[in-house]
Amino acid sequence: MPTTRPGRRTAFPAAATAVALAAALTVAGCSSSGTPAQDDANAKITLTVNLFSDFGYADLYKQYEQLHPNVTIKENRADMGAHHQNLQAHLLAGSGTADVEAIEIGQVAGFQPQASKFVNFLDNGVGKDQWVPSKTAPASSTDGSVLFGLGTDMGGMALCYRSDLFKAAGLPTDRDQVSALLTDWQAYTAVGKQFLAKSPNKGAKWFDSAGNLFSAIVAQAPTGFYDSSGKPVVTENPAVKQSFDLVAGAVKDGESAGIQAFTPAWDTGFQKSQFATVACPAWMSYEFKANPPTDKGTWDMARIPGGGGNWGGSYLTVPKSGKHTKAAVDLAKWLTAPEQEAWLFKNKGYFPSDQALWSQPDIATHTDPLFNNAPTGKIFSQSAKDLKPQPLGAHGAEIGTALGNALTSIEQGKADAATAWTKALADVANITG
């Protein structure tokens, strides 16, 4: 799927060029026994945090620095692909990592074999019961003895829709009625045809991009790109082909605006009302805040067709090769504690992965004026509870990119569905070896 810009997250980012590092780099920050180095509790230190997008932490950093006067926090951001490839290279070299490193859920399986190179949070006062097993398992060693990642947000899904465009096309605007109308993705694409036929705004399409829609649909399947043994199953899993065909058919019917996500053209699409619906995980609310319609149109939010599902979400890790591992563990634990995750949802829109918060009144009853006071807490909580976790694999992000690129080629008129699918399978084969 499309490459992210700073501040954006996506389940299947485009891969970036790896940064070459000298293999002779020396190991730093660990003793010969592999025990993480510790700091004097009163020493002045700078903790580095490497992220691939805006996690909304700026205000929280200030609060943490006030609570810990000896700590200064420096955040760095890179393109998602480059960020993860740099982290892999630094882990291999034994040096060069930040004190805290983020890993996106679509990438985390690729770090499981290196679980021993991260601090084990289970040895540092963290219990797995803070999160659902589907969140902790991907960031654990295969035997479950090491938890190397603390869950930040989850990408619980909803459907965002322009109620004014719906009304103009004779469709219901009440969010409960919209949810009842768009029960599954077949119904969604069928209503899309009705919208195109009846909408007086001929410049508005039904959805923004094939890649975004495919991400949402395939994320709901019990099995996606990998099976539970870690084997890639794109060619064998009918859910992948069915999702691809459904989206390709909608593109053929003219329902897609054909605007790749996280691009300037996509921003313009929001502003100029070029699409009526967007499959939106919780973290995507940033886009709506940044790009309100210039015609004063109103966005609303309904349940996602098909129910449940997760698109995106991340982890914080502490590599053993970092300079200040003890202080980094404390920071990572604090940033992912319930109080901070609740604040991030209410102020930034990032839905918490801490499962106890899903039923907490100020989360479960939270509404967002950006979406016509939609009960976002209820919608995303229910989506998280309905989630049927998918097995993850080391190259899930790259596979998603290949399939997304194939759908883009259909949107651009460069290939028909059959040709695009064949090309995608060849690309997947090259990725998985």
Residue 308 pLDDT > 80, yes or no? no
Q: How far apart are the first and last CA of the chain?
A: 20
- C-beta of residue 306 within 8 angstroms of C-beta of residue 217: yes
- C-beta of residue 64 within 8 angstroms of C-beta of residue 351: no
Alpha-carbon span 164 to 200, nearest angstrom: 11
One-letter amino acid identity for 159?
Answer: L
Residue of 5, 41, 188, 24 lying closest to 95 (CA atoms) = 24
Residue 22 pLDDT > 80, yes or no? no
Residue of 427, 428, 300 lying closest to 369 (CA atoms) = 300
Q: Which residue has the tokens 């601090």?
A: 119
Three-class SS string for 227-256? CCCCCECCCCCHHHHHHHHHHHHHHHCCCE
- C-beta of residue 208 within 8 angstroms of C-beta of residue 278: yes
* pLDDT, greater one: 165 or 288: 165
pLDDT band at 34 (very low <50, low <70, confident <90, very high): very low
- C-beta of residue 398 within 8 angstroms of C-beta of residue 15: yes
- C-beta of residue 215 within 8 angstroms of C-beta of residue 10: yes
Helix extents (H) in 4-79: 58-67
pLDDT of residue 31: 34
Helices (H) and strands (E) in the chain, counts: 16, 9
pLDDT of residue 418: 97
Alpha-carbon span 411 to 251, nearest angstrom: 6
Q: Over the stretch 133-148, which tens digit does the pLDDT of each residue have?
A: 889 999 999 999 999 9
pLDDT of residue 41: 63
Give the pairing of strands 351-352 and 150-162. Answer: antiparallel
- C-beta of residue 381 within 8 angstroms of C-beta of residue 183: no
Which tokens is 382 given? 């229910």
Residue 351 pLDDT > 60, yes or no? yes
- C-beta of residue 17 within 8 angstroms of C-beta of residue 7: no
Alpha-carbon span 314 to 103, nearest angstrom: 6
One-letter amino acid identity for 47?
Answer: L
Which residues fall within 8 angstroms of residue 255, CB to CB, at 6 or more apart? Answer: 189, 192, 193, 195, 196, 205, 206, 207
* Average pLDDT score over residue span 105-125: 95
Residue of 82, 77, 79 lying closest to 19 (CA atoms) = 82
- C-beta of residue 327 within 8 angstroms of C-beta of residue 336: no
Q: Over the stretch 207-229, which tens digit does the pLDDT of each residue have?
A: 999 999 999 999 999 999 999 88
Classify 383 as helix, strand or coil: helix
Domains and CATH numbers, the chain: 45-154+312-364 (3.40.190.10), 155-310+374-432 (3.40.190.10)
Q: What are phi and psi of 4, to 5 degrees?
A: -80, 155
DSSP 102-161: EEETTTGGGGGGGGGGB--GGGTT--GGGB-HHHHGGGB-TTSS-B--EEEEEEEEEEEE
Alpha-carbon span 377 to 397, nearest angstrom: 28
Q: What is the pTM of this model?
A: 0.84
One-letter amino acid identity for 49?
Answer: V
Residue 342 pLDDT > 70, yes or no? yes
**Rounded mean pLDDT of the chain?**
89
pLDDT of residue 39: 56
Which residues fall within 8 angstroms of residue 190, CB to CB, at 6 or more apart? Answer: none
- C-beta of residue 407 within 8 angstroms of C-beta of residue 241: no
Give the pairing of strands 100-104 and 45-51. Answer: parallel
Residue 376 pLDDT > 50, yes or no? yes
- C-beta of residue 238 within 8 angstroms of C-beta of residue 232: no
Q: Over the stretch 35-71, which tens digit does the pLDDT of each residue have?
A: 445 555 678 999 999 999 899 999 999 999 999 999 9
Give the pairing of strands 71-77 and 45-51. Answer: parallel
pLDDT of residue 385: 81
Alpha-carbon span 391 to 316, nearest angstrom: 20
DSSP 257-290: ----TTSHHHHHHHHTT-EEEEEEEGGGHHHHHH
Q: What are phi and psi of 101, to 5 degrees?
A: -125, 130
Q: Over the stretch 247-290, which tens digit does the pLDDT of each residue have?
A: 999 999 999 999 988 899 999 999 999 999 999 998 888 788 88
Share of the chain above pLDDT 70, in %: 91
Biggest distance spanned by C-alpha atoms of the chain: 71
pLDDT of residue 307: 82
Q: What does the radius of gyration of the chain's CA atoms come to, in whole angstroms?
A: 22
